[in-house]
């Protein structure tokens, strides 16, 4: 099956710093990538949808200036959490979709802890 990787898998940072998370589709080209956030014992919540070469579409309540998304190529999307605060601590998961299919393949997730 298709493989999606994320880097880093775990990051701890100080409040006020920015953190970049990478999402890569390793063996397929992903026209669309999705970013999710998951709090403990909660379901995945879609943050934004990213199409290659265009601006990301953010879900209601997600600050686009705080969560910067770049999808510069068909295999890479990045999520930058700017000026992170403790309430941003969460599990961030990306997924990628081949253009012709509805199947989304999920990455392994990134655990962000903001001190």
Nearer to other proteins, 84 or 93 (CB): 93
Return the range that interacts with other proteins (CB under 8 A); candidates 14-22, 60-68, 75-83, 101-109.
101-109
Nearer to other proteins, 87 or 102 (CB): 102
Pairwise CA distance, residues 77 & 24, whole Å: 7
Question: In the sheet that 67-73 helps form, which strands lie side by side, from edge to edge?
Answer: 4-7, 19-25, 76-81, 67-73
Structure token digits, residue 4: 């999606």
Return the range that interacts with other proteins (CB under 8 A); candidates 13-21, 61-69, 75-83, 98-106.
98-106
Pairwise CA distance, residues 39 & 62, whole Å: 15
Interface map 46-85 toward other proteins (x if CB under 8 A): x--x-x--x--x----------------------------
Restricted to residues 6-35, the positions that interact with other proteins (CB under 8 A) are 6, 32
Is residue 44 within 8 Å of 58, Cβ to Cβ? no
Tell me the closest approach of the beta carbon of residue 65 to other proteins, in angstroms. Answer: 19
Please identify which residue in 29, 73, 111, 115 interacts with other proteins, judged by CB under 8 A.
111
The one-character DSSP state at 83 is S
The one-character DSSP state at 9 is S
């Amino acid at each position: 099956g298709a493989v999606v990787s994320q880097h880093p898998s775990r990051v701890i940072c100080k409040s006020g710093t920015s953190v970049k998370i990478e999402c890569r589709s390793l063996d397929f080209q992903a026209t669309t990538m999705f970013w999710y956030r998951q709090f403990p014992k909660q379901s995945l919540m879609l943050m934004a949808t990213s199409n290659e070469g265009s601006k990301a579409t953010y879900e209601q309540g997600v600050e686009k200036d705080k969560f910067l998304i770049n999808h510069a190529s068909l295999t890479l999307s990045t999520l930058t959490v700017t000026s992170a605060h403790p309430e941003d601590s969460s599990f961030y998961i990306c997924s990628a979709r081949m253009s012709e299919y509805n199947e989304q393949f999920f990455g392994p997730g990134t655990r962000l802890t903001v001190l």
